[in-house]
Amino acid sequence: MILGNRRSALKKTNVLDKSVLEKFYGADSFDFTLKNDNSIFVCSKLKELDLIELDQLLQTVGWSRRPIRRVKRALQFSILVVGLWKHDEKFPRLVGFARCTGDGILEATIWDVAVNPVYQGLGLGKEIMKYILRELKISGISKVTLFADAGVVRFYKNQGWTLEPKGTKCAFWYAN
């Protein structure tokens, strides 16, 4: 059981048979296990998301709820939507998520990176980010941006992200 071990890390990749992986999660998915745990996790850009399950996941990290209908549209307009699944042939469980918007050719912006708190601190967030950047790179996208909450900046910085220099480059506009 992984609960209680907050310092896990990637142990092994290609743990599932390729045909099983593709059948449940689609092509280009990425499976791995963590140290000290036998659970299999899979990053997938093709496995369809249950919007209620996604809503529940995003609630676990404390984000305010968004109308399911609008989220569905937002996902349709996203260029990359990634689910992180705890593998189970009968009941795979969505434990992480992220998505990207952009033109699909030159630039992308990453949004809604979330890992269920029960599974945080194990290296899963980092794997989602690696998977996203790999997929964007395959599409030829070389400029990626994101907006981090203040408490999470270090998470990205540790992974090599460059911070905006002294608040001089970024501007926001909110409708209210």
Ligand X SMILES: CC(C)(COP(=O)(O)OP(=O)(O)OC[C@H]1O[C@@H](n2cnc3c(N)ncnc32)[C@H](O)[C@@H]1OP(=O)(O)O)[C@@H](O)C(=O)NCCC(=O)NCCS
Contact between 101 and 108 (Cβ < 8 Å): yes
Q: For the chain, first and last CA: distance in Å?
A: 45
Contacting range for ligand X; rule: CB under 6 A; set: 20-28, 38-46, 109-117, 131-139: 109-117
Give the whole-angstrom CA distance, residue 39 versus residue 81: 23
Is 102 one of the binding residues for ligand X (CB under 6 A)?
no
Only segment of 17-25, 37-45, 69-77, 111-119 that touches ligand X (CB under 6 A): 111-119
156 is catalytic: yes
Q: Which of 25, 119, 156, 174 is catalytic?
A: 156
What x/- string results for residues 136 through 165 when contact with ligand X is judged by CB under 6 A?
A: ------------xx-xx-xx--x-------
Please, what sign has the CA dihedral across residues 2, 158, 10, 31? positive
The helix (run of H) or strand (run of E) holding residue 169 is: none
DSSP string, 29-84: -EEEEETT---EEEEESSSPPPHHHHHHHHHHTTPPP--HHHHHHHHHH-SEEEEE
Of positions 120, 130, 139, 144, contacts ligand X by CB under 6 A: 120
Residue 18 Cβ vs ligand X, minimum distance, rounded to whole Å: 25
Task: Indicate the residue among 52 and 150 with the shorter CB distance to ligand X.
Answer: 150
Choosing from 11, 28, 55, 61, the residue that interacts with ligand X (CB under 6 A) is 61
- DSSP assignment string, 121-137: TSSHHHHHHHHHHHHHH
Tell me which residues touch ligand X (CB under 6 A). Answer: 61, 113-115, 120-126, 148-149, 151-152, 154-155, 158
Report the catalytic residues: 156
